[in-house]
Amino acid sequence: MKRATRWTRFAHRAIAVSVVAAMVVAAVPLLHRHSDSAPLRLATADLRSQAAEAALVARAWDSRRATGAFTRAQAEQLAHRIVDARSDVGRAPVELSQTAGSVEAIADALLVAVRDLEALPAPDDSGRRGDRLAGLADGLGAIERALARTE
């Protein structure tokens, strides 16, 4: 019992120290938030992934391999996340406002395309819908890489 108690007490303290250290580390960037491009890069990465996910959903729908209920619900779930990520872009620091504007423009086009998919358009054998969404993902990916280089 004594051995277990001693060890558990040590583990509690060690974990508490690591949590406090993490909080200190977390607090430091808050002091320099205005120059940190990481939040914009992360929001752009989320949008890029959502655009690519939407392209895959569109391809499954257009090739008649996904049901209507699945496609509609996937598009709806993605649309909610796109709206969230777009609002994160809006909080970008002033010096990145031009880049943020470009991301917002693509996010708006992405949201329109996903809402269109949610309405279950007739399947398109040419695969253009998926290609267009993949193109938006590529555009966002290029911005994301440029932001990563500035960090």
For another protein, the binding residues (CB under 8 A) are 1, 3-5, 7-9, 11-12, 14-15, 18-19, 21-23, 25-26, 38-39, 41-42, 45-46, 48-50, 52-53, 55-57, 59-60, 63-67, 69-70, 72-74, 76-78, 81, 134, 137, 141, 148, 151
Which DSSP state fits 121? P
Tell me whether residue 14 or residue 105 sits nearer to another protein (CB atom).
14
Tell me whether residue 40 or residue 100 sits nearer to another protein (CB atom).
40
Tell me whether residue 70 or residue 91 sits nearer to another protein (CB atom).
70
Residues 62/130, Cβ–Cβ less than 8 Å: yes
The 10 Å CB-count burial string (b at 16+, else e) for 41-79 is: bebbbbbbbbbbbbbebbbbbbeeebeeeebbebbeebb
